[in-house]
Structure 1
Amino acid sequence: MVSYTLAALEGLGLGASLIIAIGAQNAYVLRQGLRREHVFVVASLCFVIDGGLITLGAGGFAGLLRAVPSLPDIAAWGGAAFLIAYSLKSFHAALKPGRLTAEDGAAPASTGLRTAVMTTLALSLLNPHVYLDTVILLGGIAAQYAGLERLAFAVGAVTASGLWFYGLGFGAKRLAPFFARPLSWRLLDVFVGCVMAAIAAGLIIGQLRS
């Protein structure tokens, strides 16, 4: 029982350390949480995708990515292209910032559910770091365990994912008063744009050096 608990705690800690980092996916969840738009759907999609990839990695799926060398390259270039486009969109949005008030409950220029879903899927699935962190890294460490211990490790990592995404999305409401000012939204849009541009640049540089 102790070994299962330790494995679960290791999975929880490692999963948290990998996911609690500023990235395009987290920035989008934060933004949707602040705007109070489709928070549950966006957080759930991120959680399901992350949990699914962790499960695949723990189940030995990492071998497939190693067997097909072109997959990381395709994901890197596709992800970079998407991140650049979204970065430009964020910078454009900074020119006409919205505001969040208790009366209206959401910022102007709301995002439709379809757009939110497609954006979440793209940010989640076109980011090669997601696969490196969940499938390869977590999967490789999970392979050190056997049987129920490996399951406990995976459950711990998946739990960290759920706690983070739902906490980030719904916890963002506490910041709503701060984002009642247009300047705050402008700063957030610029921040999101810079984060996504930096990640895209890192992906491109990494591909050019490889």
Structure 2
Amino acid sequence: MNPFFNGLMISSGLIIAIGAQNAFVLKKGLLKQHIGAIVLTCWLCDVFLISCGVFGVSALLSDSPKISALLALAGGIFLLVYGLMNLKRAWQGGGHMSIQAGQSQPSSIIKSIAATLAITLLNPHVYIDTVVLIGGYANHLNQHDKFLFLIGALLASGVWFFSLGYGARLLLPLFQRERVWQILDTAIAVMMFYLAFGLFKQVLTLFG
């Protein structure tokens, strides 16, 4: 598949999840508190981290096929397990996002940005997703394809955060419905399985 769409899929699959960052953005969107600065901060963090992964981690690994293969194998296993977890969650149901927006005091734009940076950058999982996993997936691509992959990944990130923030009042009723999360979890599982398959093929090629 086109590297642009691979980047779009892997970024979408990893970003769209019930987590502290998404809940924070959704809440600020509901309260209409500095949402432009907040979603821009989230996206710029992804721009920096994903770029470091695609053009940093992958460049460091380009001369080490064994390490590249091991990282691809680890990434494939991670995506496979991640997909299975989403599939299990879709089967069992129970997913929802509940935000209590009525009792929050407004904060300054500086405090809002600081809180966004803390929620984003103090979460170790963000580095696994953006730098290690996305960067490792892009390792086997040439420079042109890496650029397309990066554009796809950053587009998914930007569309998600800006839609979540500015569409919060429209999106919250959807996120409160269990069926919507079951559909999302199933779609994410399919994307993760496809991407894991691609990484396992890469491992076979490197060891072949």
Q: If the TM-score is normalised by the length of the shorter chain, which range does it land in? A: 0.5 to 0.7
Do the aligned residues in 1 keep the contact of 2:31 with 2:101 (CA within 8 Å)? Answer: no
Distance 1:53 1:39, change over 3 A: same
Cross-structure match for 1:198: none
1:114-137 residue CA offsets vs partner (Å, 9 max, x unmatched): 110110010111111110000000
Unaligned 5+ segments in structure 2 are 62-66, 68-98, 177-208
Cross-structure match for 1:150: 146
The Cα of 1:174 is off from its aligned counterpart by 2.3
The Cα of 1:173 is off from its aligned counterpart by 2.6
Match of 2:151, SS state, is: helix
Distance 1:55 1:175, change over 3 A: closer
Provide the rounded CA distance (Å) in 2 between the counterparts of 1:15 and 1:108.
31
Provide the rounded CA distance (Å) in 1 between the counterparts of 2:116 and 2:14.
18
Cross-structure match for 2:33: 37
The Cα of 1:61 is off from its aligned counterpart by 3.3
1:167-208 residue CA offsets vs partner (Å, 9 max, x unmatched): 00001032689xxxxxx9xxxxxxxxxxxxxxxxxxxxxxxx
Which residues in structure 2 correspond to 1:84-99 (within 5 Å)? Answer: 99=102
Which residues in structure 2 correspond to 1:87-166 (within 5 Å)? Answer: 99=102, 109-166=105-162
Match of 1:47, SS state, is: helix
Cross-structure match for 1:80: none
Calculate the TM-score normalised by the size of structure 1.
0.60
Cross-structure match for 1:25: 21
Aligned residues: percent identity? 40
Provide the rounded CA distance (Å) in 1 between the counterparts of 2:42 and 2:54.
18
Distance 1:175 1:160, change over 3 A: closer
Calculate the TM-score normalised by the size of structure 2.
0.60
Letter in 1 for 2:4: A
Distance 1:176 1:148, change over 3 A: closer
1:22-78 residue CA offsets vs partner (Å, 9 max, x unmatched): 1111111011001000001000000000121111100123759x9xxxxxxxxxxxx
Distance 1:98 1:59, change over 3 A: closer
Give the number of aligned pairs: 138
Distance 1:43 1:98, change over 3 A: closer
The Cα of 1:10 is off from its aligned counterpart by 0.6
Match of 1:131, SS state, is: helix
